[in-house]
Chain A
Amino acid sequence: MTTKVVEMSAVAEGVDLRHLEMSLRSPRTFISAALSAVAIGASILACIPLLSVLTMLAYRGGARLSWEALTSTPPAALAAGGGFGNALVGTLTMVAIATLLSVPCGVMAAAYLAFVGPESPTSAVVRFTAKVLTGLPSVLAGVFAYAAVVLTTGGFSAPAGGVALAVLMLPTVLLTAEEAIKMVPARMKEAAVGMGATQAQVLFRVVLPTAMPGILTGVMLAVARAAGETAPLIFTALFSNYWLFDLGRLNLMKPTASLAVLIYNFSAAPFANQVSLAWAASLVLVVMVLGFNIAGQFLSRNRHHR
């Protein structure tokens, strides 16, 4: 055994061990280090816009944020105080309407694309349409809802805004749900079929529950996007200085305020009070969107997936 060790060290002595030391004079090491530095620099650069927006919002919006701002209606020109409570309620209402419209439709369509008839011509057409719709400029969704809902119902309203946002949410919900459903292992479906489950039972008892975290992540991303949309709402919900509840009654069929449109209107207003309210509303909107995103991340970690 000792002879073996001696032999091995003899071999090691034959090797030029100076090559083991790291040196920036070696071209390969230098390029590697330089590229690492570039990558780190680029990722820091990428954070600058987001961090500066967040800092600015926290600083300028935070100063004006108060209970009053969250619970009152917008002030008149030159008036002090006021808030954007009605816009907050309006945004939540319209996003809720859009979610109610787009999620059932999107998830069931995704179930068809990924499970019932993945290879069918219908699926190919729907998938293509959804992908094209993903890149639809949001203003077009607004114009569409204007023609389809505002003109036919006779006025700007929260449901019209909801329809416009639903058009924007649908492709995101559909495509992410399709991916989530496709990720359900084939052996789970096979197990359910082997138990004597019908296709509908396999879908509702195994495939959708298993895909649910992924589906909800997609829904949250879509909701986050819809909450921040301005252009479609200008055409459909317009704006209002009043609450959706009027004299104790909920009336959705009238112009409805939203945070995004309030920010758009007030940020260009010539009054300091309005401008500061726009900052505060921006902060609230960003926190809301961030909340939906974090909820999406959280939901994607299902307790039954290891």
Chain B
Amino acid sequence: MLDSYAPAVSTHTVDGTPGATPASSVVIDCRINNMYYGNFRALRDTHLAIERGSITAFIGPSGCGKSSALRCLNRMNDLVRGFRLEGQVTFLGRDIYGAKVDPVAVRRYVGMVFQQPNPFATSIYNNVAFGLRLNRFRGSIAERVEKALRGAALWDEVKDKLHTSGLALSGGQQQRLCIARAIATEPDVLLMDEPCSALDPIATRRIEELMVELRARYTIAIVTHNLQQAKRVADRTAFMYVDTSAGGRTGYLVEFGQTQQVFDDPRHAHTQAYIRGEFS
């Protein structure tokens, strides 16, 4: 029964979102109509707006296209062969899939933290300075490295060993190093693709605290498998589900709203079932 075709969800777009704020605060407006990897339709009808200074969580069962949707937002999917998008993703009003847009430039404004901590095989300092050097940053790199490490709540743990390998840190520290690396260039948006799934509960808690601190300066979108995590940190939550009616496995956005509303008063039967833990 859960696999049956869900009614159109297009009412839950920017304007239909409960508590929608004026359009000026929208940083990324995602209007994915269809997204393909080759002949495989991975996503359909995923329309949502990510607002400045907020944390937006993507939740849903495995294979529902949460990560695919997130990776559309900074053109990481361009690396996947056969990727094709029908629809539009705008960043501060500009279509990032426009013909003249350089995907490399997009990624400098919309940074990313990955599922597995992935520091480079170099020192902690060089890891954080990486993005600054890419952009030929003119100011004091050391200052910005310290600022980013403080921002990622890692400075006190590593200030005496900045020139040791980033790979020698623990998993949780590595992930905070990756966050420091991502925020060193001060991007507008930080996309986080299940940033805590490889971490233990204590490290997870620290990353969550960090996200809440970072919200003031960075707009954050996070994919998570952990419903409690979404509940703890996200301002708004997008619930995605898989549609198998057409034979494939196509993900789509079921419901998008304030986190509290999505968890306490879900509008859709699928959302309700997922949040109650009836399936995952």
Give residues in A with beta carbon < 8 Å to B.
185, 187-188, 190-198, 201, 205-206, 209-210, 302-306
Contact = CB atoms under 8 A, between A and B. Distances in A.
A305 B104 CA distance: 28
B185 A195 contact: yes
Interface string B112-139: 1010101111110000001101110000
B182 interface: yes
Contact of B131 (A185, A195, A304, A305): A195
A195 B121 contact: no
A304 B122 contact: yes
A197 B167 CA distance: 21
B168 interface: yes
A302 B121 contact: yes
Given A195-B130, A304-B165, A187 B114 contact: yes
B252 to A, nearest CB: 25
Q: Which 9 A-B pairs have the closest CB atoms?
A: A196-B108, A194-B112, A187-B118, A196-B107, A304-B165, A191-B118, A304-B121, A210-B121, A195-B131
B172 interface: no
29 contacts: A187-B118, A188-B118, A190-B76, A190-B79, A191-B118, A191-B119, A191-B120, A192-B120, A193-B76, A193-B79, A194-B76, A194-B107, A194-B114, A195-B107, A195-B108, A195-B130, A195-B134, A196-B105, A196-B107, A196-B134, A198-B104, A201-B134, A205-B130, A205-B133, A206-B120, A303-B165, A304-B123, A304-B167, A306-B167
Given A188-B118, A209-B121, A304-B121, 17 more contacts: A187-B114, A187-B116, A187-B118, A190-B118, A191-B118, A191-B178, A194-B112, A195-B107, A195-B181, A196-B111, A196-B134, A196-B135, A198-B104, A205-B133, A210-B120, A304-B165, A305-B121
Contacts of A195: 107-108, 111-112, 130-131, 134, 181-182, 185
Interface of B: 74, 76, 79, 104-108, 111-112, 114, 116, 118-123, 130-131, 133-135, 165-168, 178, 181-182, 185
Contacts of A205: 130, 133-134
B90 to A, nearest CB: 18
Given A187-B116, A305-B167, A306-B167, A194 B122 contact: no
Contacts of B76: 190, 193-194
A205 B74 CA distance: 21
Contacts of A304: 121-123, 165-167
A185 B116 CA distance: 11
A302 B106 CA distance: 34
A201 B107 CA distance: 14
A306 B121 CA distance: 9
A190 B225 CA distance: 21
- Considering residues B107, B116, B121, B133, which has the most beta carbons from chain A within 10 angstroms of its beta carbon? B121
- Considering residues A185, A191, A192, A194, which has the most beta carbons from chain B within 10 angstroms of its beta carbon? A194
B121 A188 contact: yes
A268 to B, nearest CB: 51
Nearest to A187: B118
Contact of B74 (A191, A194, A206, A209): A194
Contacts of B168: 306
Contacts of B107: 193-196
A191 B130 CA distance: 11
B127 to A, nearest CB: 9
B267 to A, nearest CB: 34
Contacts of B74: 194
Contacts of B114: 187, 190-191, 194
Contacts of A209: 120-122
A204 B112 CA distance: 21
B93 to A, nearest CB: 20
Nearest to A186: B118
A192 B111 contact: no
